[in-house]
Homo-oligomer: A and B are copies of this chain.
Amino acid sequence: MREEIAKRFQEIQSHICNNLEKLDGIAKFESDHWERPGGGGGHTRVIQGGKLLDKGGVNFSAVHGVLDDRMAAHLNMKLKDFFATGVSIVLHPNNPHVPIIHMNIRYFEGADGNYWFGGGIDLTPHYVIESQAQEFHKGLKAVCDKYDSTYYPKFKKWADEYFYIKHRAETRGVGGIFFDHLKADENHSKEDLFSFVQDVGMAFYPLYEQQAVLGMNKTFSDEEREWQLIRRGRYVEFNLVYDRGTKFGLETNGRTESILMSLPTDARWMYDYQVEEGSREEETIKLLKKVPAWIS
């Protein structure tokens, strides 16, 4: 089954890249095929300098090998041979009125027959617009509800906890869904879970397009651009300080350029930057500290 999963993940990568190129209208994805010294490899696709997309990465990998003792103990694995495949995306738009978005779907398998699926999609608007956050969450709930009515509330909460910048006491964005260690049980076969993860992957593009078209043709001021750079700085902070995929990748000698393609082109840090009272920037910060339910 692992070959089938990896094949399907690659198809999802192509589907997303093809659609993003059409949406952008100008830039094309570069393509890097790479091999991992320990086993397997990947296909990194990056788009830069587009009309919509300042920088976007859509990475596929399927790697195998032997985990070191520490990692095997951490994952509670007796046998240390593993196989892992996934698709991972981060898109940074030019326009501050278009959100940053992230998606990941992944499958992990150990030699002892142990396996799980994981994944998630989350949205990081530079300016939070409540109706747009609601639409986004409605779309995610629809995908989840097809499989299990407990998924959306559980995975929404998981995303709120995961995409949290502790030292800023704010969430990275308006959240979304996050899930990990999904295994077959009495309610869901392995095929069901694989189907769910594919649906998450296929939901990514329409959900992003819905957000992008609402903002990509808006004009923006220098102040709005600066705010975007500062929010990108927070994104860098989350990814380098907290993100488990980034840390795991850097610690296990993953391909640095593929791991760090999630970072924006330009980011900015101003000492003790304060938003103006009553401004849209302040409203955004308030919503990132509040962690709303978004939909009932």
Contact = CB atoms under 8 A, between A and B. Distances in A.
Interface stretch (A175-183, A197-205, A257-265): A257-265
Contacts of A30: 271
B46 A250 contact: no
A34 to B, nearest CB: 10
B271 A229 contact: no
A21 to B, nearest CB: 16
A46 B168 CA distance: 19
Interface size class for chain A? 20 to 34
Given A240-B241, A241-B250, A55 B271 contact: yes
Contacts of A253: 167
Given A240-B237, A240-B240, A229 B266 contact: yes
A168 B256 contact: yes
A38 to B, nearest CB: 16
Given A236-B236, A240-B237, A240-B241, A265 B256 contact: no
A233 B233 CA distance: 11
A188 interface: no
B265 A270 contact: yes
A64 to B, nearest CB: 21
Contacts of A261: 271
A246 B270 CA distance: 17
A57 interface: yes
Interface string A165-187: 01110000000000000000000
A272 interface: yes
B250 A32 contact: no
Contacts of A285: none
A267 interface: yes
A269 interface: yes
A267 B266 contact: yes
A15 interface: no
Contact of A57 (B168, B266, B271): B271
A2 interface: no
A132 interface: no
A250 B166 CA distance: 8
Nearest to A48: B271
Interface of A: 30, 32, 46, 48, 55, 57, 166-168, 229, 233, 236-237, 240-241, 250, 253, 256-257, 259-261, 263-272
Given A168-B256, A241-B250, 19 more contacts: A46-B272, A57-B271, A166-B250, A167-B250, A167-B256, A229-B266, A236-B236, A236-B240, A236-B267, A240-B240, A241-B241, A257-B271, A260-B269, A263-B269, A264-B269, A265-B268, A265-B269, A266-B266, A267-B267
Query: Which 8 pairs across A and B sit closest by C-beta, in order of nearness?
Result: A240-B240, A263-B269, A46-B271, A167-B250, A257-B272, A167-B256, A240-B241, A266-B268
